[in-house]
């Protein structure tokens, strides 16, 4: 069994959940998760705040505080996992907010606006950057910050194998009647240009693959078209996939990390 740290989102973390892969614990133990954080935020100055009397869950509070405080860097150095898996969902979907010089936080539209801190300290003052409006400058800063992440891991966790999960957004989902439909509606799913978002996601991934030759990759979307589905435990969404994705991921991770087929 190998210990795994996840820096990314549900596209990676859900593979270590018995709802999706019933037998994953035979091979892997997920010991650390940094969820929905931007690389740019993680490699900036920490921001220590109090979240009191907020209309958020404990899970949401943890996402915000670990992002603000860069706790992942401390924890991974302490834990020394066998494997670290990155995915860049948050960098593609959320972007970041500059709150002071070299101090950034992830612009998480699902959690951050619920907080009093956002309403009192950020809302009217924020400088927000995302892939849709500022990509050239965004990408230059992102490359700089990823290099800092990589250097930090190599220095402090020299025996940790780094793997990149090259996930993508999907265009379609299956409804409850197994009818395949476009993944757009007027509900809580933000309508995005899926092809553009995937192009940018590929740009991030390609930079890492071209620059850091020791990083292994899982590239399931090169060979298969996945979909979402309405009965997904978290609901239909661009990165909430049909169950075959999670099974395929686990098999590929076993191949990459153990260097053999199971």
Give the pLDDT score at 124: 65
Structure tokens at 212: 């850091």
DSSP state of 191: P
- 11 phi/psi in degrees, rounded to 5: -65, -25
User: Model's pTM, two decimal places?
Assistant: 0.93
CA distance 29 to 145: 28
The answer to whether residue 169 scores a pLDDT higher than 50 is yes
Q: Check residue 56 and give its pLDDT.
A: 85
Region 171-185: mean pLDDT is 87
Domains of the chain: 2-170+193-227+241-258 (3.40.50)
Confidence of residue 186 (pLDDT cuts 50, 70, 90): very low
The length of the chain in residues reads 262
How far, in Å, CA of 218 to CA of 250, rounded? 10
Q: What's the mean pLDDT in 233-256?
A: 96
Instruction: List, edge to edge, every strand of the sheet that includes 180-182.
Output: 180-182, 172-174, 228-229
CA distance 141 to 136: 9
Strand boundaries in the chain, DSSP class E: 2-8, 28-35, 83-86, 96-100, 103-106, 127-129, 161-165, 172-174, 180-182, 216-218, 228-229
pLDDT tens-digit profile of 208-225? 999 999 999 999 999 899
Higher pLDDT, 240 or 99: 240
């Amino acid at each position: 069994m190998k210990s795994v740290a996840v820096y990314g989102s549900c596209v990676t973390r859900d593979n270590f959940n018995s709802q999706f892969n019933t037998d994953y614990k035979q091979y892997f133990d997920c010991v650390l998760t940094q969820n929905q954080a931007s690389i740019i935020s993680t490699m900036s100055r920490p921001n220590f705040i109090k979240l009191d009397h907020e209309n958020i869950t404990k899970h949401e509070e943890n996402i915000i505080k670990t992002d603000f405080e860069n706790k992942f860097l401390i924890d991974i150095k302490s834990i020394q996992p066998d494997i670290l898996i990155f995915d860049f969902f948050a960098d593609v979907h959320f972007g970041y907010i500059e709150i002071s010089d070299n101090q950034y936080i992830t612009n998480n539209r699902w959690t951050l606006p619920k907080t009093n801190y956002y309403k009192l300290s950020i809302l009217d003052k924020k400088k927000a950057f995302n892939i849709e409006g500022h990509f050239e400058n965004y990408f230059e800063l992102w490359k700089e910050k990823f290099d800092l992440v990589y250097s930090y891991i190599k220095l402090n966790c020299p025996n940790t194998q780094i793997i990149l999960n090259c996930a993508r957004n999907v265009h379609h989902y299956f409804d409850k009647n197994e009818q395949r439909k476009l993944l757009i509606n007027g509900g809580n799913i933000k309508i995005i240009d899926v092809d553009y978002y995937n192009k940018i996601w590929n740009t991030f991934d390609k930079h890492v693959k071209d620059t850091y030759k020791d990083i292994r990759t899982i590239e399931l979307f090169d060979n298969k078209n996945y979909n979402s589905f309405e009965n997904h435990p978290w609901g239909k969404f661009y990165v909430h996939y049909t169950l075959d994705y999670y099974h395929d991921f686990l098999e590929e991770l076993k191949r990459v990390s153990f260097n053999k087929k199971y």
